[in-house]
Structure 1
Amino acid sequence: MNGKLMGAMGGVFLCLTVVAYAQTLTQVGFVTANAPALGVKVQGNYLYFAEPGSPSGVFRSVDVSDPANPVALASFATPGLIIDVWVQETFQGAFAFLGMADNEAGIRVMDVSNPPVPIPFGGMEPMTTEHPYPPEFISIV
């Protein structure tokens, strides 16, 4: 993002920019969230994050090509709480990997090649029902 830093704080999503040093951050724009933003990730000109909800979570995409005027693009309800988001571009497109909690523990995958229209792509349940714990974080290697 050419020197721009994105961050989340409380129930409001903030877009921040680095002015000179990391100690001098200035808010330049924001998108209001319905709940604290979780798993905030930036991929190109798009920002992705999750909102906890009841009984489900929400996956959101935002166009941040103009940080002073970010545009909320999509909200997609998921069957469970999302605790982390990871976005990866591949030769097949761009995908968001969602770390799920609660009864939907595991990973869900969204095709975000067209950020205004995220499409469910697949997923994976926990490998064992004995310890169906959600992933602590997601990292693609």
Structure 2
Amino acid sequence: MSSRLRPARHGTGRAIRRGAVAAAAVLALTGPLIGAAGPAGPAAAAVCDGTKVDTLDFATGYTYLYYNSATGQNCAYTVPKSGSGTPQLIAVGLFRASDNHGVWQSRPDFKYYAGPVRLDARGTCVLFNGQVASVSATSGWGHCGTRSAP
């Protein structure tokens, strides 16, 4: 693993700085190496608040991106297309362009979904990605906001 990437402490889901693009590549190639929170439950419907702004639809799953304009928070989570309830690798990542700050979760034994991961990204672009089993997808930089007056 690159010396620029520092995985979250296992079980914390804490934010990680630096190397968002590299981390996206690592997530796509080696998802289980990245730190994560514990296995998630089946209540994926209410994991993110705000408005759904994008969906990554890939062969084995979906990654959803939400934005809450009241809080400035982006939120993302990944769900499998099949095998829900069966332990499998599921991952999600969310990164902001302004400072390459990112958050992610990945475990080989999630049963229902990975996430949510949340990140304040007012006034900058975000990149989000997801993985289920060995298939992943990345959005590229987009959903660029403008910073509102305080």
Q: How does the TM-score come out when normalised to structure 2?
A: 0.33
- Report which of the two structures shows the higher radius of gyration computed on alpha carbons: 1
Structure having the higher strand fraction is 1
Larger RCO, structure (CA 8 Å, separation 6 or more) = 2
Q: How does the TM-score come out when normalised to structure 1?
A: 0.35
